[in-house]
Chain A
């Protein structure tokens, strides 16, 4: 039973355009959401996070949107750059009950073409 799902295994966008990565979750106890980026042979790197009390969080080119009623979040990258090409993981946490335990989605491979 996948509690966090990323339905698009891959996404290809042109350099300079917007990349939108989507993530759905089912567990209502999740109250904190994170996006990680992963290159081959490296561990995931934290990108941006959002608490369930917010619906948007921005950090430079990265914006995360949270729609609690739809149990959906998305990561927007504007403008996309070739260096953004990597696998992106959405993760969720029940911060009150599960400490540092993160539940990850399956990942979306983003390819940004020059």
Chain B
């Protein structure tokens, strides 16, 4: 069965970086892209960007350009999302999901990233 398993919760100080992993199983990793979505406490869903697991092409949300990098390791079927220069308003649950348009059919369990001094 398809599964996306994310890395554990992180606590970071403002200005630091965080890298969240998303390990895929149960399907051919390179046949689908991975999108990243975040949700601040009590808030709605925010699309962050996607990466093609086939060729590494990416597309990021404009507001995160320059601070976010999405990568994949096809040898381990793992996707990564790194966010730099963290601010308090980056505190959120970060999700990976399979797909790159809008039909995100499988989701990871979420990773809570807390940014606090």
Chains A and B bind each other: no
Binding site for B on A (CB under 8 A): none
Partner-A contacts on B (CB < 8 A)? none
